Amino acid sequence: MSHLTATDMDRATKLSLYQIDDRCRAHAAGHQAFIMALLPEAMDQFYTHITSYDAIRAFFTDADHIVRAKHLQSQHWALITAANFDDVYHDSVLRVGMAHYRLGLPPKLYIASYSVLMTTLGTLIHDRYAEHFPDAPASAAFQLVQDMSRLLIYDMECAITAYVDNTNSIYL
C-alpha cells in the first residue's frame, strides 16, 4: 500500500485541498492592512492567554523573548496575508516549524496556541469589520474569517510538516 505524504503533494494541489483559490487569496490580500492592524491586539490577547499556562510559558525566557517572538510572528503574518504562497512564504513557514521543533514545542501545544490566535483574530474581524468597511455586505466579515481560517490552517500544517519531515515520524 502506498502512502501519500504532505510533502509529496505539489503546492497547487495542497492549496486546492484547503480551498485556497484565487478568490480566497485575493480576498485575504485585499484585507492585509486590516488584518495586520488587528494583529497586535490579537497577539497581545494570545500571549496573555498562552503564557498563563506553565507548559507554554516555560518556552519564553523573559518578556523580551515574547517581544521578539511577536516581531517575528508579525513578519510571517505579512507573508500569510499577502497570500502569495511562493518560495519566500514557504521558506518562512519552514523556519517557523523548525524553530518550534528546535525549541521542543510539541505540536499539540502549537496547535492549541494557534487555535487561540485564530479564534481571537476571528472575534476581532467580526467586531471591527463593519467599522472599517461600512459599505460591505454583512456576510463579508464571515467570508474573511473563513478565508483567514483556510490560510491559517494551511500555515499551521506547513509548519507542522517541518516537524514530521525532520523526525520522519507522525508520532510526536
CATH of the domain at 62: 1.10.490.10
Residues 124-128: contacts with CB within 8 Å, 24+ apart? 124/38, 124/41, 124/42, 125/34, 125/35, 125/38, 128/34, 128/38
pTM for this predicted structure: 0.90
State the total domains in the chain.
Answer: 1
Give the range of the structural domain holding residue 144, as residue numbers without chain letter: 32-166
Please check whether residue 21 lies inside any domain of the structure: no
Please check whether residue 11 lies inside any domain of the structure: no
Please check whether residue 108 lies inside any domain of the structure: yes
Q: Is pLDDT at 51 greater than 80 in this prediction?
A: yes
Please check whether residue 71 lies inside any domain of the structure: yes
Please check whether residue 76 lies inside any domain of the structure: yes
Cα 138 from chain centre: 25
Eight-class DSSP state of 6: G
Give residue-wise pLDDT tens across range 3-35: 445 455 789 999 999 999 999 999 999 999 999
Distance CA(17)–CA(8), nearest Å, equals 13
Please check whether residue 13 lies inside any domain of the structure: no
Percent of the chain with pLDDT over 70: 92
pLDDT of residue 1: 38
**What pLDDT band is residue 163 in, cutting at 50, 70 and 90?**
confident
- Give the three-state DSSP class for 19: coil
3-state secondary structure 51-112: CCCHHHHCCCCCHHHHHHHHHHHHHHHHHHHHCCCCHHHHHHHHHHHHHHHHHCCCHHHHHH
Q: Is pLDDT at 39 greater than 90 in this prediction?
A: yes
Please check whether residue 39 lies inside any domain of the structure: yes
Give residue-wise pLDDT tens across range 113-147: 999 999 999 999 999 999 999 999 989 999 999 99
pLDDT of residue 8: 58
